[in-house]
Structure 1
Amino acid sequence: MKSRPSHAPFPSASKSAGRSRRAGSHIPVAEAEAALVEHYPRLVRLAYLALPVSTGRHRRVLLAHRLAQRSLRVALNSAAGDVVYPLLRREVLRGALAGGRRNGRLRTALTGAGLPQVVGLRMHPRAGGGDELALDRALAALPAAARAAYGLLGVEGLDERAARDVLAEAGADDPRGAVRTAAAVDNDHRLLAAGEFDPCTVQVRPTDLLRRRQRARAGLAAAAAVAVGAVLLAVATAGGSPEPYGSAGSPGSAAAAAHALDPAALVRASPQAWTATARLDFTAWPARGNRAADSALLGRALAVWAHPAASVQVTATPGTPRTAPAQPPQLLYAGDVDAVTVVVFYDGLRLVRYAQARSGGGGAAALDFAQVEGADITTAAAVVLDRVDGNTRFLTAPWVADAAGRDLLRPGTPAVPLHRAADGTTDPVRMPGAGATSGTCGTTWPALQLRSSGKVAEQHSFLLTDLGDLTPVHLTFTPPPAPGDTPRAPREATGAQALASWAHGACRLGELRGQGVRSVNDWQFARMVLPEGAGSAAWTCDRADTWRGPGRATVQFLPPGAPAASPGTLAGRQSDGSACSRFSPHVMAGVMWKSPGGRWYLLAAGSRDVTAITSDLATASGATLAAPAPRGTRTTLSARTTSGLVLHPLGGA
């Protein structure tokens, strides 16, 4: 992409798009098409920014192209006195904003001729650096109209007044507020020129085709290659700049497939890459292990990945494609670990672990897939190399300066230093629940406590625990609200208060094994003074987020004096939703509680914005309720927040 002045990341289109025409006639087809082709990349980029983030990057790419192409229809039906480009831009934004309001317009955009039909492949813009990633996350938190406003300010170079006018014409609900929100984003508009926000320059990845018959698989892959080729051809015609695949050929070709399985083509990061980047994830991992130069081993691992035999034990976290590499992956590790030889690859979206018997005989090979898109300094801090006899051996990231082990069920016991080899491989760590009676978590819950190097994060310590996947789970903690304080964000669970709270929730982590969980936050959303001077109780909501998106929440009641390792009373559960996340920051729950004096009470509590709680027995102002109630009482609870939102307890308790 050509360089542009910093004050206007993209050139103005108004002069080149507008010409004088005779009144009473329609815009000529050739002129409308010329305007679309000339400004196609800008229109697609605007649509991509404004479309709902929840649709996923693949669908956003397709929809952005669809909205840009269908805007031509409106231009052709407009009067000849109109300027073409503003008409195209208005229609693109109108379609994208309507999709954000979920009124059916987005579904309409998915139908009809012109939407590329890509089967067997998924497309997404190229990943950017740390600054682009930070901007992408900041924009994802904004409403659709604000994201559109940010695009008008950055992509179009409009001032705030002009941006408001464009949004108003496109049907935005609050143009002034949208522009004000976009203007408050502290970032450089020039970052919008990066590939992270360019749906005209895409990368492709395969979907999971394992369930399809071999013959159908070949046919669908060919159709997918043709479809992607058509999309890239259309983009090139419209002035885009698709990233060249290289001398190996286009995606889906035989040459590209062979190139992806060539050990010599493996991507290898330099040993010091992590010290010179703001993007601390698996892309910054160097290739380590005593077999990292063993071409025969690497070629065998790649071949098994592409075509696993029936004897190969294949596992994958939920939602993770098991498909062959579409291009040469990055090598993270190849070496001998205990009784096995292990190879770990990273393809930008997944970790793939290949393991074979170290002796070369006895036991089948194993292949494990795990989704790790969007990993960061904590969630990319360790990978499981081997599990044997109830122990796990990890490979830690190059930015990990210190490692220690601690027991979550003994919060007062200090962490014990954990030895690591020169390549970052840890000594064996006991697996949570190893040796425990079925249905119990045992007497210990081991966790890793890692500390990042001062070169990337000053004294940044964090907790990870093994839940049976290739990457351990990041544990965080949100403390209870303080009077007059602003809402608190999750923090690392290494402090005394966090460890004390996690001791009551650790055993319930076993329910999440093998579910592809990325992180779990223990949120102490309320504290309440109990009747009869029985002390203070806590209410927590443990929010587990998976790599693929869905999550689950578990609410507990923690009475005073409960043993450190004992789980709290289950007060609510949501198996698939947004409860207790930043997208749903309100929660309430209730339990029956027996006082030390032998009397029963209905107790309920809500998060910080709750102003009243109502039951069939009593009503209380504020965020807590305590009412005498006969043992076994069943009642209906509800709460109301400052904004008027009505809450009900999570089901499943």
Structure 2
Amino acid sequence: MPIHQPQQRTDVQSDRTGVQQAEAALVEHYPRLVRLAYVVLPPALGRHRRVLTAHAVVQRALPAAGSKVSGPRVPAQSRRTGPPAGAEGASADRVPAHPAYGWVRLRVLRAALAHERRPRWWPGRLPAPAALRPALPVVWGLRLFPRAGGVDELALDRALSAVDGPVRAAFALQLLEGLDETGVRELLAEAAVADPADAVRRAARLGRPDRAGAQAMLRSGEFDPCTVQTRPSDLLRRRHRVRAAAVAAALCVLAGGLAVAVEQGARGGGEERSPAGVFAPVLDPAELMRTAAERWADTSRVDFTAWPARGGRTEDDGLLGRALRAWAGPPASVRVSTTPGTATVPPAQPPRLLFAGEVDGAAVVLFHDGGVRVVRYAEPLSGSGGAAIDFARTDDADVTTGAAVVVSRTGDGARFLLAPWIAESTTRDLLAPDTPGRPLEVGPDGVTAEVPRPAAGGACETWPVLQLRSSERIVEKHAFLVTDLGDLAPAHLTYTPKPGRGAPARQPREATSTEALLAWARTACSLRTLAGSGVRSVNNWAFAEQKLPEGGASAGWLCTRADTWRGPGRVLVQFLAPAPSPTDPAVVVADRDDTALCSRFGQHVLAGTHWKASSGRWYVLAAGSRAVTRIEASGAVRGAAGGPTLAVRAPRDADVELTASLREGGTLTAVH
């Protein structure tokens, strides 16, 4: 039997043609391939290093010079579909399903996935084995970042960081490359993924329910490593770090086992990992996000993301590094405080720097973490006191709720860092509604003079608030009130006027009118019960006005609703009887936690109280909101009245149940 020798490929021209086709595909679709690599690479690398690694993975996808390749092998999925149209510019609009592109894409995918399979103990900046190590482009003195996105892009990036590389790869292949599930599974199998079907199943859960929105976000600038911003990594200590790096290299030769410690020491500890698993780039002061000084005037998103970095120590890497490390893993000597519902976990990506400076004998740093939290770090400039770090939720902040942050608080007062869009600032006393506001001095770094704090106990004789006015560049003639309730972010005070006859329901408005100030003068002291509970805003809703029996004057009914940053609200229903002084406190007749009452989701309210007339007779009074058409009293006494108010004679301690009928049908019971 003749023995057939295996055929040997000797067509050198075919080798050259295959490599040329692969090179042409790589050059033509380079931005798409780099974006794919960036999404698949581990987010723990940090954005700067992930940008460089993504470019390196794609640039090394071609075979080395002199290698024998007969032409790119055609992956199974590339016979069915190529890259999706319209993904990266005009050249990407008509991409053929060419075998060369599929071959290069597979090489990129393998290299990106291999990067995550490095040993967990392998330091990120030391040479890795050849099979795992992409050679990075060299960038000295600069940090590279894709353009920052919004809250939705940040949420998607966090969701991707919570899954492993194969899931990110499946997600990217579906939304960026337009492959179906079968094609994704086959391509992942060729990339040596252990369980492609499981990766596809888990990827299908990402981006739900708006997969189209997730696709648009994945193609946005947040995930584009070809359109980047730059910042210097250091300016003052670069030469010292070069010397330290040389020393580190020498020590690595002498003692390779100490390589990780030498690397961290060379960088002043700025890239150590925290116990929570935060990688070095997140803890590097050079990676901090910084907003341009005038960004707030040219964006539709006016919140903490528009705040520039201010203060005299924004370039102090030592202070910033200590603040970041205290955030990642506070030692026992650091005091930690949080507002309810605020997570203290380390940031998933470098936070935004808002302030770094010296205030009231302390070095203070303020960070903003991706639209979710504001974090304040403070350490004493002298003495033996310890550092402190405070966490507060600030998600969905706006022009008013993102207008100020407490930068320093003493026993008697507090200083605030004001938003860059605040054009005018004054202070006033809620218990002196007829007294005009007094100008509040603000330094060039945005820090105010000390503002007296509301008394936490004892007599309630004054209630200081800030009255701020936004710049006409964003909101014309928009003045509003905020007050310090013990949290980092002051609470926004609003007022909803009494319902008008035949008029639509009123909406909350700024509490700067005479009517609003008079209402707050009688209810300000009730704010004490809200201190330290993470209150975002407090609204006084004048839901009813009642003519008192025996020819008396009119009384008012207010529903004071406090909304927290975490969602649940607290309601105080207050009765404003006629009083000789405009600051006599209202009577709290109902107190309810975790309720939708007196909000847009709870627009009907009924309340009652006992009241003594000047004759000495006692009555049960009740009032409801504008949709109440009838109120009935039962129990110890019985009575009924058409309309939104009721007054019925009753003993002082009579137990009375109140119910109301609503205009659109249904009944309402009184809140207690």
Which TM-score applies when normalising by structure 2? Answer: 0.62
Please say if 1:526 is aligned against 2:544: yes
- What is the letter of the counterpart of residue 661 of structure 2? R
Aligned match for 1:204, one of 158, 178, 194: 158
1:614–1:333 Cα change, 3 Å? same
Alpha carbons 2:482, 2:491 under 8 Å: kept? yes
Q: Distance in 2 between matches of 1:238 and 1:292?
A: 42
1:255 Cα deviation after fit: 10
Q: Distance in 2 between matches of 1:534 and 1:127?
A: 62
Alpha carbons 2:493, 2:511 under 8 Å: kept? yes
- What is the letter of the counterpart of residue 359 of structure 2? V
- What is the letter of the counterpart of residue 357 of structure 1? P
Which aligned pairs between 1:155-166 and structure 2 lie closer than 5 A? none
1:606–1:228 Cα change, 3 Å? farther
1:203 Cα deviation after fit: 2.3
Q: Distance in 2 between matches of 1:502 and 1:562?
A: 16
Please say if 1:238 is aligned against 2:238: no
Alpha carbons 1:333, 1:344 under 8 Å: kept? yes
Please say if 1:548 is aligned against 2:502: no
1:565 Cα deviation after fit: 2.3
Q: Distance in 1 between matches of 2:166 and 2:582?
A: 61
Q: Which residue of 2 aligns with 1:373?
A: 395
Q: Which residue of 2 aligns with 1:625?
A: 646
Which aligned pairs between 1:73-472 and structure 2 lie closer than 5 A? 196=152, 202-204=156-158, 227=163, 229-240=165-176, 241=215, 242=218, 244=223, 257-348=279-370, 349-359=372-382, 361-433=383-455, 436-437=457-458, 440=459, 442-472=460-490
1:528–1:307 Cα change, 3 Å? same
Q: Distance in 2 between matches of 1:319 and 1:256?
A: 22
1:236 Cα deviation after fit: 1.5
- Structure of larger gyration radius: 2
Alpha carbons 2:278, 2:346 under 8 Å: kept? no
CA deviations on 1:473-496 (whole Å, 9 max, x unpaired) are 000000000101100100000110
- What is the letter of the counterpart of residue 521 of structure 1? N
Alpha carbons 2:276, 2:329 under 8 Å: kept? no
Q: Distance in 1 between matches of 2:651 and 2:606?
A: 22
Question: Is the partner of 1:227 in helix, strand or coil?
Answer: coil
Gaps of at least 5 residues in structure 1 are 3-29, 42-125, 130-194, 206-223
Alpha carbons 1:603, 1:625 under 8 Å: kept? yes
1:577 Cα deviation after fit: 1.3
- What is the letter of the counterpart of residue 523 of structure 1? W
- What is the letter of the counterpart of residue 420 of structure 2? P
Alpha carbons 1:503, 1:564 under 8 Å: kept? yes
1:278 Cα deviation after fit: 1.2
Q: Distance in 1 between matches of 2:603 and 2:340?
A: 26
Q: Which residue of 1 aligns with 2:62?
A: none
Q: Which residue of 1 aligns with 2:498?
A: 480
1:232 Cα deviation after fit: 2.6
Alpha carbons 2:523, 2:586 under 8 Å: kept? yes
CA deviations on 1:593-625 (whole Å, 9 max, x unpaired) are 111121111110000111111111101111011
Question: Is the partner of 1:637 in helix, strand or coil?
Answer: strand
Across the aligned residues of Structure 1 and Structure 2, the Cα RMSD in angstroms comes to 3.0
Alpha carbons 2:276, 2:346 under 8 Å: kept? no
- What is the letter of the counterpart of residue 422 of structure 1? P
1:644–1:306 Cα change, 3 Å? same
Question: Is the partner of 1:421 in helix, strand or coil?
Answer: coil
Alpha carbons 2:311, 2:356 under 8 Å: kept? yes
Q: Which residue of 1 aligns with 2:627?
A: 609
Q: Which residue of 2 aligns with 1:50?
A: none
Q: Distance in 2 between matches of 1:584 and 1:468?
A: 28
- What is the letter of the counterpart of residue 291 of structure 1? R
1:508–1:254 Cα change, 3 Å? closer
1:253–1:386 Cα change, 3 Å? closer
Alpha carbons 1:477, 1:523 under 8 Å: kept? yes
1:227 Cα deviation after fit: 2.9
Question: Is the partner of 2:449 in helix, strand or coil?
Answer: coil
1:254–1:448 Cα change, 3 Å? closer
Alpha carbons 2:628, 2:662 under 8 Å: kept? yes
Please say if 1:515 is aligned against 2:533: yes
Question: Is the partner of 1:549 in helix, strand or coil?
Answer: coil
- What is the letter of the counterpart of residue 461 of structure 1? A
1:374–1:599 Cα change, 3 Å? same
Alpha carbons 1:418, 1:426 under 8 Å: kept? yes
- What is the letter of the counterpart of residue 436 of structure 2? P
Alpha carbons 2:342, 2:391 under 8 Å: kept? yes
CA deviations on 1:501-548 (whole Å, 9 max, x unpaired) are 011111111111111110000000000111111110000001110001
Alpha carbons 1:257, 1:326 under 8 Å: kept? no
Alpha carbons 1:317, 1:371 under 8 Å: kept? yes
1:613–1:368 Cα change, 3 Å? same
Q: Distance in 2 between matches of 1:255 and 1:245?
A: 25
1:354 Cα deviation after fit: 0.2
Alpha carbons 2:327, 2:346 under 8 Å: kept? yes
Q: Which residue of 2 aligns with 1:504?
A: 522
Q: Distance in 2 between matches of 1:541 and 1:645?
A: 21
Alpha carbons 2:415, 2:449 under 8 Å: kept? yes
Q: Distance in 2 between matches of 1:455 and 1:474?
A: 21
1:476–1:514 Cα change, 3 Å? same
Alpha carbons 2:623, 2:645 under 8 Å: kept? yes
Q: Which residue of 2 aligns with 1:583?
A: 601
Question: Is the partner of 2:163 in helix, strand or coil?
Answer: helix
- What is the letter of the counterpart of residue 398 of structure 2? D
1:420 Cα deviation after fit: 0.8
CA deviations on 1:152-174 (whole Å, 9 max, x unpaired) are xxxxxxxxxxxxxxxxxxxxxxx
Question: Is the partner of 1:636 in helix, strand or coil?
Answer: strand
Return structure 1 stretches of 4+ with deviation > 6 angstroms. 126-129, 245-249, 251-256
Which TM-score applies when normalising by structure 1? Answer: 0.64
- What is the letter of the counterpart of residue 469 of structure 1? D
Aligned residues: 444
1:339 Cα deviation after fit: 1.3
- What is the letter of the counterpart of residue 270 of structure 1? A
1:384–1:228 Cα change, 3 Å? farther
CA deviations on 1:113-134 (whole Å, 9 max, x unpaired) are xxxxxxxxxxxxx9977xxxxx
Give percent identity, aligned residues only. 50
Q: Distance in 2 between matches of 1:300 and 1:634?
A: 61
CA deviations on 1:284-303 (whole Å, 9 max, x unpaired) are 10100111111111111111
CA deviations on 1:18-55 (whole Å, 9 max, x unpaired) are xxxxxxxxxxxx99xx99x999x9xxxxxxxxxxxxxx
CA deviations on 1:326-348 (whole Å, 9 max, x unpaired) are 11110000000011110000012
